[in-house]
Amino acid sequence: QVQLVESGGGSVQPGGSLRLSCAASGMIFSNYLMGWYRQVPGKQRELVARIGSSSITDYADSVKGRFTISRDNGKKTVYLQMNSLKPEDTAVYYCNAHSLLYSSNYWGQGTQVTVSS
């Protein structure tokens, strides 16, 4: 069974930092494009950042320069380092694994990030 488990969420003050982790199992991790998405109640889930097996990255304009996505294929884990957090970053963050080769798409359960003073 494919499983994605997020961790590292929590509550921080504006300007603070958090690092999210997503541990994958039951899959050939290196064959998947990994991404982080976030969702606020009542709004559409949006892409935050994604990273390919070659470590080429892509970011939403709203987080460029503040967030960094990375992956460790040996540990089958993808990370999201979030710096200079803003209240607008408050959301549930979801880990995603996508493979065109396998026609597969998987989601984690989500982890809450709250930024407030």
pLDDT, average across residues 28-51: 96
Cα separation values, 114 from 21, 55, 58, 60, 85, Å: 16, 28, 23, 19, 9
Sign (positive/negative) of CA torsion 8, 43, 3, 75?
negative
User: Looking at residue 75, what is its pLDDT?
Assistant: 97
pLDDT tens profile 67-104:
999 999 999 999 999 999 999 999 999 999 999 888 89
